[in-house]
Amino acid sequence: MMWIAVIIAAVGVAWLAQVATRRARRAFAAGKCAHCGQPLGDQTYRLEGKAICASCAGRARRRLRRALLAFVVLGLVFLVVAVVGTISLLRRHDPTWWQLPLVMIGCIGGLAVAVRLALGTMKQQNRVGETIDRYNLLIDTVRPPTGPDDRAGA
Ligand SMILES: [Zn+2]
């Protein structure tokens, strides 16, 4: 029964992400920021593939910097635990002292890989989002007129 709840939750999250992406595409087509709805201006920025304004980009940049700083601090905590714990185990002549630094190095490496994957995914989302928005604009420029006003004029 638990896996059904997990599947329903996963489908729900995917659906919400799809709705947010569609809303962001419409906002970009209207020249508005995907986050705050303000006009995009001359310079557009990307976050998770969505076009955002300079002020939202500044906020996102500050949040990302704080998150990266938190990961660096966590990595340093892992390093301190490895050094202090290993020294403590060696003083007690514990024969398993060598396991702690290995585990902590694995934790630091896992943390670094997770941060690298997250940043790589964000950059890829931005590239894909920009490409899709650019092609949508191109499609709009070559799409034949279909509105009632267009037909009346023809
Ligand atoms: Zn904005």
| pTM for this entry | 0.73
In the block, which residue shows the tokens 């490895």? 82
Q: Which residues of 23-56 are buried (b: 16+ CB within 10 A; e: fewer)?
A: ebbebbeeebbbbeeeebeeebbbbbbbbbbeeb
Q: What is the CA(54)–ligand 1 centre distance, in A?
A: 7
Provide the pLDDT for residue 148.
65
Say whether pLDDT at 151 is over 90. Answer: no
| Tens-digit pLDDT profile for residues 75-104 | 999 999 999 999 999 999 999 999 999 999
Q: What is the CA(38)–ligand 1 centre distance, in A?
A: 6
Say whether pLDDT at 154 is over 50. Answer: no
The answer to whether 77 touches 54, Cβ cutoff 8 Å, is: no
* Of 42 and 87, the one with more pLDDT: 87
Q: What is the CA(39)–ligand 1 centre distance, in A?
A: 8
Q: What is the CA(27)–ligand 1 centre distance, in A?
A: 11
Q: Calculate the CA 130 to chain-centre distance.
A: 15
Q: What is the CA(25)–ligand 1 centre distance, in A?
A: 14
Q: What is the CA(32)–ligand 1 centre distance, in A?
A: 8
